[in-house]
Chains A and B, each alone.
Chain A
Amino acid sequence: MRILTPSELEAFLRSLEEEYDVRVPIALPDGTRTLGRMREGPLAIEGGPLLMKPTSIFFPHHETELEYEEGIVLMQAPLSRPLCVVGLTARDAECLSFVDEFFQSNYRDDIYFNKRNGALIVVLSGRCGEDGEFLKIAGGKCDIELISEGAEFIMVPYTQTGRDLSARIDPGKEVAKDRLAALERESSALGTEEEELLRRASQIVLEDRVPEEFWLEISRRCIACTACNLFCPTCTCFEVYDRRPKMRIERQRLWDSCQLDGFMREASGHNPMGSEALRTRRRIHHKLAADVVRWGRISCFLCGRCDKVCPTGIGIKAVSREIVKRHGRW
């Protein structure tokens, strides 16, 4: 474990740019924070979880899967340098691990792993949230974790690559493990209430105790903006289609949304989820019930994005709260 001042951290991240295509939290011209290269904007480590879908680095909004021209199929070229992603939260890292498993299973999604393989994942936690809010400590699921004490960052490596990189830092910056103890205590108290809420909501949905009227009522408020899906780190649905500029075919993939009627209609010519109420139910059901059956865990890791961006307040936490309040066993 080494300890770094913000300027030492910045120097360390810059040093990684020789081997990695480094993406860090940056501030864009109007103050919006996102993941970008260091030359694309000032570093914006502080401020909490980034609003953008953090897994979009490996699974972007829109990309060309392959191109076909004059009898030749061109696949996506391998990256010239592996990616390094700095700024995921502990919850984001859990999401990433879920998405890794998803894209690995059944058939392996080479387009995803073309970017994901060899990528260095650096999680941010501790006292670097919005207005100094404490962010949960990951304790794994990444190569390196940077735990903010407020003024400085404790750097904890979890993988061999992480340990090799951290070893490059001045050994004089080494700190003892017990320095983490207080921070870990603070972290372990975080979010347990919300986790319990989600578990209870999941149980109620699994037991099919939520009546149709509930979904109808919730769906009345949905304006089908699709933001819940497009910000969700564990939403992985995409649409595949061809564009045909002159003498060429470009096979594209584009983030899709289960909140759209056409999402289900297309595959089979009809849509069993043809009502807004069913589509709303589907989204929540998927995270809280279907994935529990299929993957053995709830696929919402409480990152909070859908609750933050839903223009009418029907993010997963808000809906779970309603489910537990109205249909929980008392």
Chain B
Amino acid sequence: MKRTLTTCPYCGTGCTFYLVSNEKGRLVGIEPSTENPVTQGQLCVKGWNAFEFVQHPDRLTEPLIRRGEGLEPASWDEALDLVVKSLQEIQGRYGNDSVVFFSSAKATNEENYLLMKLARAVFGTNNVDHCARLCHSSTVVGLAATFGSGAMTNTISCVDLADCILVTGSNTTEQHPLIGSRIIKSSQNGARLIVVDNRNIRLAHLADLHIRCKNGTDVAFFNSMMHVIIQEGLEDEAFISTRTENYEHLQRVVAQYPPDQAAQITGTTPQEIIQAARMFARADRSMIIYSMGITQHTHGVDNVKALANLALLTGNLGRPGTGVNPLRGQNNVQGACDMGALPDVYTGYQRVTDASLRRKFEAAWGVAGLPDQIGLTSTTAIDAMGDGKVKGLFILGENVMMSHPDQNHVQRMLQNLEFLAVQEIFPTLTTQFAHVVLPATSFAEKDGTFTSTERRVQRVRKAINPIGQSRPDWEILCEISRRAGYPGMTYSSPQEIMEEIARLTPLYAGISYERIDRVGLQWPCPDPGHPGTPILHQGRFTRGLGLFSPVEYQPPAELPDSEYPLLLSTGRCYFHFHGASMTKRSRLLQREVPLPYVEVSPEDAIELGLLDREWVYVSTRRGEVKAQARITDVVMKGVLFMPFHFEEGAANVLTHNALDPTSKIPEYKVCAARIRRAR
């Protein structure tokens, strides 16, 4: 038996466990770490099963090249040469920015760093992005504007210290189970729990106050809470006067949201708004926890700013048990952002538009003329495939057919490409459209680091040898770089890559493999003696003063009407993860939820004459899919909820490509739909 300490590849909580492998090099189990401050000997059901998909027979084991209609096995040399030649030819014909690189929040920091370096230093484009665009891009924009740093302000253990926890747009016990369970414990120990969520989730059952706003009316609700707080003199005057700016503007805006009017917009009662405001503002340490229910809207940035304003108004920042805490969905979505797999920044959010920073990276990478224009986001890049601006796409570990809105649109766009390369561990709907598929290793077969939602950089360690001919993503990227004629991407190990990251990134300057050997460190960690920073903005915001950023309520882009009378919201379930390429190959997880489903309220089910687990068609203006109806009071009358994990009933056939104007995040949480019985 061998036990290898590593970090869970599912959500952003950052649990660590030991992968157990036998003498034959097969993974045979998992043992949670008892020493990790987040894990504490516990895991969720996905964590317990995180070893099983690794050796599934479906793994991609050799490079594939499109010949005619099908993908056929090829040698690594042939596949890698074809990738480089195709991308270079496209750039030769249409310019550098005709090629786009999608990185992956599943991959390590080192790999995200290399992909953004490959795009910028080797292929000369800032067209690099990843799936944070689809989950927390509005957080990065919203919190950077208000605080100067777009990450979770506090640390997971702060949940234990809060007097009041406001959870909104986060089904925490299902999506970040070990944070969710901590919220339950904290509430049992006396913390007040406010759940502002349309869905009747587990935390709602245990909450002191559960408020079911209409989908997409969050800004009106939080503005009104602030209205009440100011009216009743519950604001933190000292904090506002010493730590913030632009307060008068906020006062003017929220004055327009008295509870009786906001209640009309949000479908709540004035009393609920007043109760929530008092409970939140009167507690000494109030903490906000949110996730995709806040961010995935055409007004996602506004939602985030509203929450940031609420925390500023009540002085709930820079102290234990407080903060604005976005829970990052993927194992390394924080890290992929930190590594600059984004079109506007290098590592550590250093802007590509800043000439001095460009010069710094040019000198470090030994190149001249790094591109100075902000690149395309992953959402706008897909659209740009339609008007011929983007001709080549390189995807590292993302299944865009499953993850992006409006699947039929995505498919048409992918089919417009002259060249698509996908680096993956399993065949997916997206690899079907690839010209080259490069087989990568899973988390269990490589070294590196992931950065969790609480900004903790933790080790990923190789437990077993690569399956078949698969190679770690970082090695593949180095090979592509070498074949493209760039000598500056040769590394003996991911540790060497992290050393380069630390040299170039003030936030990570004190991170090294030696220091994070047992327990990870939380950034900012500016020098090798720095202990890391569990709580941001203590005494001073990253941007200096906290900026009140008042926002006005805007309705969602597409609301129910007579033709499509129901509101469809999408998300995840507990047992699967995103495109499900890993979870559907894990026996117990797949057994638990084997089929696509749509949650329907009991009231709507009666009206439609539906039985539980009966097959229905769900349709929107984009398309139609078949799913099992699950009749449940988790959803309100008039609302449907669908998880997006299932190829054969893909929720993203239905969602629409309406984007937040600044963050370019799609509005996955609201669109108009209808359902009918399938027989």
Contacts and interface: CB of A to CB of B under 8 A. Distances in A.
B57 interface: yes
Interface stretch (B34-42, B371-379, B558-566, B671-679): B34-42
A52 B31 contact: yes
Interface size class of B (residues with CB under 8 A): 35 or more
A220 B205 contact: yes
Interface in A215-239: 220-221, 223-227, 230, 239
Top 6 closest A-B pairs, CB basis? A61-B29, A311-B181, A262-B591, A245-B57, A31-B35, A262-B592
B34 A32 contact: yes
B41 A30 contact: no
Given A230-B48, A262-B592, A32 B184 contact: no
Interface string A17-55: 000000000001111111011001000000000011000
A254 B588 contact: yes
B16 A30 contact: yes
A152 interface: no
A30 B5 contact: yes
A260 to B, nearest CB: 6
A31 B34 contact: yes
18 contacts: A28-B3, A30-B33, A31-B35, A51-B41, A52-B31, A62-B27, A62-B51, A223-B181, A225-B44, A225-B177, A227-B48, A239-B587, A260-B588, A260-B592, A261-B592, A262-B591, A311-B184, A312-B181
Contact of A34 (B3, B36, B48): B3
A266 interface: yes
Interface in A37-83: 37, 40, 51-52, 56, 60-63
Given A62-B28, A261-B592, A311 B517 contact: no
A239 B592 CA distance: 12
Contacts of A241: 587
B42 A311 contact: yes
Contacts, number: 117
Contacts of B517: 29
A244 interface: yes
Say whether chain A's binding surface is mostly helix, strand, loop, or mixed. Answer: loop
A244 B33 contact: no
Contact of A30 (B181, B206, B519): B519
Contact of B57 (A32, A37, A40, A243): A243
Given A51-B41, A311-B181, A31 B588 contact: no
A257 interface: yes
B1 interface: yes
A122 to B, nearest CB: 18
Contacts of B519: 30
B530 interface: no
Nearest to A31: B35
B147 interface: no
B588 A239 contact: yes
Contact of A32 (B29, B31, B51, B202): B31
B242 interface: no
A225 B48 contact: yes
A313 interface: yes
B588 A262 contact: yes
B5 A28 contact: yes
A286 interface: no
A243 B114 CA distance: 35
Interface in A295-315: 308-309, 311-313
A225 B42 contact: yes
